[in-house]
Structure 1
Amino acid sequence: MDYKSKLVTLSNRYNPERVPLFETRHFSNSGLQSTDRDVVQYVKKAMCAVDEDYTRKTKEAGEAAKVHLERVLRDVSFEYQGSVMTDTHIKGVSDIDLLVLCEKFYGSDIHRVREELQRQYLYTTEELSRLRSYDQSFYSYQGNSSEDLGNLRAGIERTMKYIYDDCDTSHAKAVKIRNKHLNRDVDIVTSSWFQSLSYVLHDMPKEELGIKIYNKDKGYTEGPDYPFLSISRINSRSAETNGRLKKMIRFLKNVRTDSDLNIPLTSFDINAICYSIPVLDYINLDYRGLVRVLLSTIYYLCTDYKAGELTSVVGDEYVFRGKPEKVEALKALGLEVYQIETELDKR
């Protein structure tokens, strides 16, 4: 495998605007040595975070779009989701997901809450108190939530078309704009809140709030998803392991992206693979050890149908079950990691 070419590709991706002295500044904390073989340099660089200046500009592009929307929209709030929020994005120029949340209503697990109140023996006194309080304070929205979200999406489209020359409104779930000044993309997602049974039982922490995403082609929401809980869990576990979890996530994303093979695995899939690894298996490992543990994990998942048991970071969805094409993609990724691990072992 030609790691010299891969190094050029990776460096160009991390530094697409050719900032002077980028290599020295950005990779200074990676343990990189000028005498390292090409494969070692590739692995170390592939585990590094995107330069802070690029991430800052990406967030600025999101904030700029948010400011424009705040001026014209009412009864909304804003949040961000995606790999930029965990610092596991791999491209120097990355897009960011700006959620525009309708505050007129919220989705709810009220039926499950009421069902669980009939099984009081399963819960503590404190949990029962939370369930009862939620039930008693709940009210049904009298408006038309689908119409509200349709109007919100239309308002986002009008505003973004007026402000941005490069504005794509053809996608069902997001308005895509490009901030030409900052050279960044922003996906603007029409959505609404969802309060799950778990959210109520755990005393309503913000990170457990769900969202439902509006699909304008279908005219209704899909989900719920729990992006804030996923972000919180990845950030917390990576902090526990001195950044090693995020190093593994970035490494697999870079290997996937640099492969000559088509490996259609998403950030969602790769997050789940890395998050599933027990902390004690890698908490003290160096870059070589991290590659080995990733290889053994992928091998494990690809044998005896173990991939079908892997759940998302949040634990609410099976990642590979019933998706043979994703299992094949996982095998292809494993082959790439195997070749890297084999090359690392050469002296």
Structure 2
Amino acid sequence: MAKNYSNRLLELRSRKNDINILQESYGYKGYTIDSYKQFIKMASESNDIQNYFIEAMAPVDDIYTKNTYKEADRVKNQLDKIKTSSLNFEYEYQGSVSNNTHIKAHSDIDVLVIIDRYIALEHPLVPSNPYQGNPIDDLMELRLTSEKHLTSAFPQADVDCSGAKAIGLSGGSLRRKVDVVPSNWFNTVDYDRTKLKHYRGIQVLDKYKKERILNTPFYHNFLLDIKDRNTSGNFKRIVRLLKTLKADSDQDISLSSYDIVAIAYNMETSKYYTGDKYILLLKNVYSYLNDLALMPSTARNNIDVPDKSRKIFNEASKYTGLTRLKDEVEELLKSLITSYGLSDYLVEYKAIAV
């Protein structure tokens, strides 16, 4: 069935814009969200399929991202109040907002709350002054103290303490969902050698299993930034597009945001070298996803996420997700070729301003 890209465009614009912030920032005082959508539509010179394609690749406006960080700062300011000489910590960010692949004005943001009592070391590194305390108990203290304080500090908000790895805050006076993630530093051998932050990992507490899970969010973001620079921004354009197609699909696409990033990351860098020939870029993405779908499962299931911490297709449902995402890309590609009146030959030469 043909997709209704006019409806999808409205959904995309609603997702990527906040009328209240637009009114504050740009002076659209008299506009409702519906009239603002119409204003954008009238200002466009091309059709809805083309607009959808172009806008899906674009980053979320910086005014919204700044507001996301402001809401995270409000939570951090409250957490600062529980700092003591014996319970101290620092903050970092992880997730799609931190690497600019988010697709919503109201994106969630993860705040890592990193305890300072100890630093875990990768084997064979040996601490010069071994820690005598219990790291799990320390993180549990941080987690439970944070839960109690945030519940009191944001009485109108929904403070969800049921998550294994994060405390989720939303609603009330908060304009964004903020996830607070108790954790500790994990110094890798590469970090010890270079002192470059992107080689530094973190261990996140699972409060139910009473164990720590290793993550490498800074190395992940570092690798994405390199790929994006090497492709003149086309890598992250495609990540945003694929996430948008998933969000707007009528089918359940069983791929996480992290999975989609990893799939796009593994496309050969040279296939991103299309300059402003974005329909050719989309054609390359479709060919790549089709090749992935047709690949023997033993080979496909051996493909790593960027930091090589796991395989992308580590669950059977992800293959179905891949094929459905491929179908979405194919449908958009065919619709764009028709809307521009192109032949397969002309796809190679069609430039689009983004």
Q: Is 1:101 matched with 2:114? A: yes
What letter is aligned with 1:199? Answer: Y
- Where does residue 97 of structure 2 map in the other structure? 84
Per-residue deviation, 1:139 = 3.7
Cα RMSD (Å) = 2.2
CA distance in 2, matches of 1:139, 1:278: 45
User: Which of 314, 318, 321 matches 2:311?
Assistant: 318
Distance of 2:270 and 2:305 partners within structure 1: 20
Aligned residue runs from structure 1 range 1-347, under 5 A: 1-17=3-19, 19=22, 34-73=44-83, 74-110=87-123, 113=124, 134-135=125-126, 137-164=127-154, 165-166=156-157, 167-178=159-170, 180-181=172-173, 183-200=175-192, 202-222=193-213, 224-285=214-275, 286-303=277-294, 304-305=296-297, 306-321=299-314, 323-346=315-338, 347=341
Q: CA deviation at 1:182?
A: 5.0
Q: Which runs of 5+ in 1 are unaligned?
A: 114-133
Which residue identity lines up with residue 194 of structure 1 in the other structure?
A: F
Percent sequence identity is: 29
Q: Distance in 1 between matches of 2:285 and 2:274?
A: 14
Question: SS at 1:309's partner residue?
Answer: coil
> Partner of 1:214: helix, strand, or coil?
strand
Q: How far apart are the structure 2 equivalents of 1:16 and 1:289? A: 32
1:34–1:17 distance in 2 versus 1, CA, 3 Å: closer
- Stretches of structure 2 lacking an aligned partner (at least 5 in a row): 342-354
Q: Deviations over 1:275-312 (max 9, x none)?
A: 11222221234321221121112112112224212211
2:345 aligned partner: none
Counterpart code for 2:146: I
The amino acid across from 2:161 in the alignment is T
Query: Deviations for 1:113-144, whole angstroms, at most 9, x for unmatched residues?
Result: 2xxxxxxxxxxxxxxxxxxxx54x53432101
Deviation, 1:220, is 1.9
Higher mean alpha-carbon deviation, 229-238 vs 75-84, is at 229-238
Cα separation, 1, equivalents of 2:78 and 2:226: 32
Structure 2 CA distance for aligned equivalents of residues 254 and 144 of structure 1: 44
Contact map agreement 2:271 2:281 (CA 8 A) in 1: no
**1:123 corresponds to which residue?**
none
TM-score normalized by structure 2? 0.83
SS at match of 2:131: coil
Name the CA distance, whole Å, in 2 between partners of 1:66 and 1:179: 17
Deviations 1:33-65 (A, max 9, x none): 834232211110100111111111101111111
Runs of 4+ in structure 1 off by over 4 angstroms are 20-23
Amino acid at match of 2:19: E
What is the TM-score with the length of structure 1 in the denominator? 0.85
